[in-house]
Amino acid sequence: MTRFENTVAVVTGAGSGIGEQTAFQMAQEGGKVVLVGRTVSKLEKVADRINEGLTEPRADIFQADVTREDEVSKLADFVQRTYGDLHVVVNNAGTSGKSTIMEMEETEWNRIQNTNLKSVYLVSKALGRVMAESSEKEEGNRAIVNVASLSGHKAGAKIPHYSSSKAAVINFTKSLALEFAPYGIRVNSVSPGFAETPLTEQGLRNKRFEEAIQRNTALGRVGKPEEIAQVITFAASKEASYMTGSDLLVDGGWMIK
């Protein structure tokens, strides 16, 4: 398939896990991807994986902490200067932590909210402007996909900061969709259940935790990052041309059990 030919895409948190897979799949289908993250060595590894064997590279890297407006603004300048056009943004960068509400330090609350929610606002604002400007010059598929979570749909015992940030991402997505629709930009969120990535690695090393996920998931297993990425790329592609303001739950059937 070549769904992303003539497409410029930015993927945040692309140095590992779901973001890496999403960028990889988009590039495999002809897209040019800008890999965004804080650690250059991780981004370079992913870029090498994507560009391997290609005569013309399809992956660029840009170092940025997406919780910082100055760095996100430099990212928008870079995309504008380098490509002069932008079609897809995947707000994937995220992090988690564990604490009860009564024990949680304010710094920990802010760390999670800034990484998972504020970053989506900052990136969508800065890159959304680039997308809106380019949409005036040329029509075509333009989409933002925000990575939320199954946790955004339910109470989160010991992860109240994480689950509330993801619930907010799902709602923020709807407001963005409304504001960006006149520019022909669709905005949707994808809510993964448990997938095997560096984020969940430590938890999944605990056999009891892994067994609990298997027991509580209709499909009886943990997901793979590529299975989440496939849904993200669908939402980003023109196959989803009539979908905006929606959330796609990809949880192996956790919520139905």
Catalytic positions, written as ranges:
162
User: Which residues of the shown chain bind ligand NAI in the complex (CB under 6 A)?
Assistant: 12-13, 15-19, 37-38, 65-67, 92-95, 115, 147, 149-150, 192, 194-195, 197-200
Which amino acid, residue 10?
A: V
- Locate tokens 């960068």: which residue? 93
- Shortest spacing between CB 2 and ligand NAI, in angstroms: 25
Residue closer to ligand NAI (CB basis): 224 or 238? 224
Q: In whole angstroms, how close is the CB of 187 to ligand NAI at the nearest point?
A: 16
The secondary structure element, H or E, covering residue 145 is: strand 142-147
CB nearer to ligand NAI: pick between 134 and 187: 187
Closest distance of CB 150 from ligand NAI, Å: 6
56: burial class by Cβ within 10 Å (0-12, 13-18, 19+)? exposed
The nearer residue to ligand NAI, 50 or 135, going by C-beta atoms, is: 50
Contact 44, 24 (CB under 8 A): no
- Secondary structure percentages of the chain, helix, strand, coil, to 5: 50, 15, 35
Rg of the Cα atoms in the chain: 18
Residue for token pair 């990575």: 147
Minimum CB separation from ligand NAI for residue 206, in Å? 14
Smaller CB separation from ligand NAI, 38 or 129: 38
| Cβ proximity of 59 and 27 under 8 Å | yes
